[in-house]
Amino acid sequence: MPRARLSTAGVVEVALAVIDEQGLEQLTLAAVAAHAGVATPSLYKHVASLAQLRNLVGVRVMEDMAEQLTLAVVGRSGDDAVASLMRASRAYVVRHPTRYAAMPADPLHDPATQAAGYKLLQVFLGALRAYRLDDAATIHATRCLRAITHGFTSIEAAGGFGLPEGLDDTYEQLIQMFIASLPRP
């Protein structure tokens, strides 16, 4: 990336490239600077610290996921929306396993990531809306949905499923199990 084009958004893009190529563990300001072709101090014009850069990367990942998941569920409701959301979640992680790892575990309690976290949460809540769950049941269903998608996709991304049966079949079973757990509207 030419130095003249460096900006906060540009630094985040370079950080994502570093994560894609080398993994989240290799994200350092020095690695980003080297990838951008600038000296590390040049980055401080755009990000205050590695912690801030990690937050910005997490926000970007959540915004990208929210956009992709929204496209998957728009015009759908009930079981169809939930199944589409779960498939799109998995597809995102399959395409971007190292980026997904950069997403904060609890974005709603950090002011730097809160807005993006709520944006992503709204997609999950929207997919569950047709079930007319009360507030507590909605929270529980959202947590279950997140745990299923995150658990499976994280294990898959780490290469943790070594048995020969097809992962697509297993994931479809999980989708059906989750949908069966929801009340009929």
d(CA 161, CA 138): 30
> How far is the C-alpha of 183 from the C-alpha of 185, rounded, in Å?
6
Domain ranges of the chain: 1-47, 55-181
Q: What is residue 1's predicted lDDT score, i.e. its pLDDT? A: 42
Arithmetic mean of pLDDT over the chain? 94
Residue 4 pLDDT exceeds 90: no
Cα distances from 92 to residues 10, 20, 42, 103, 173, in angstroms, run 22, 13, 32, 12, 19
Q: Does the predicted TM-score (pTM) go above 0.85?
A: yes
- Fold topology of 1-47: Arc Repressor Mutant, subunit A (1.10.10)
Region 41-67 average pLDDT: 96
Tokens found for residue 73: 């569920």
What is the Cα–Cα distance from 32 to 102, expressed in whole angstroms?
15
Task: Tell me which DSSP letter residue 43 carries.
Answer: H
Which of 94, 101, 124 shows the shortest CA–CA distance to 15? 101
Which superfamily does 55-181 belong to? Tetracycline Repressor, domain 2 (1.10.357.10)
Instruction: Summarize pLDDT for 95-123 with one digit per residue, the tens.
Output: 999 999 999 999 999 999 999 999 999 99
At 33 the pLDDT is 96
